Amino acid sequence: MKKIPFVALLAAAALAAGCASSARPVLYPNSHLKQVGDAHAQHDIEECRMLAEKAGAEATDASRAARPAVEGAAVGGAVGGVGQVIRGRNVGAGVLAGAAIGGTAGGVRGAFRASEVSPIHRNFVQRCLRDRGYEVIGWK
């Protein structure tokens, strides 16, 4: 049981690192982009991102990180409890250990999901840029 705090700390660090998304739209070099230039395009990207945030389409969604941790803890707890019942051992300890392991694994998975740009934010920014004459070909 000594390794659980270390694993939990590792998961928390991954979660914190994953909460801020730095993904940005990549623009196709169409005639509009060539006409306005890179500096103006970057300004338009930032403006569209701020408009999305103002409209409630946040770049990241914290629930995308929390849900897998809760699901992992529930599944891990159930598996740990069943494993201990089969062995004829302390069910409570199995549930706790399984929940800790499953919650940590789910938290790490959630951290990776949280670092992705939310689909609503992405769609908002892409539409805003399209309305301004740009063509978004992906995010990086």
Q: Are 76 and 46 in contact (CB under 8 A)?
A: no
pLDDT means over runs of 10, the chain (140 residues): 49 48 89 97 96 88 63 70 76 73 67 73 96 96
Q: CA 128 to CA 139: how far, in whole Å?
A: 15
Determine phi and psi for 16, rounding to 5 degrees.
-65, -40
Instruction: State residue 139's pLDDT score.
Output: 94
CA dihedral (45, 47, 49, 53) in degrees, to 10, reads: 180
What is the pLDDT at residue 9?
46
pLDDT at res. 45: 97
Q: What is the pLDDT of residue 27?
A: 98
**Dihedral sign from CA coordinates of 133, 114, 66, 68:** positive
**Domain extents in the chain:** 24-59+117-140, 61-116
Dihedral of the alpha carbons of 130, 34, 54, 110, in degrees to the nearest 10: 80
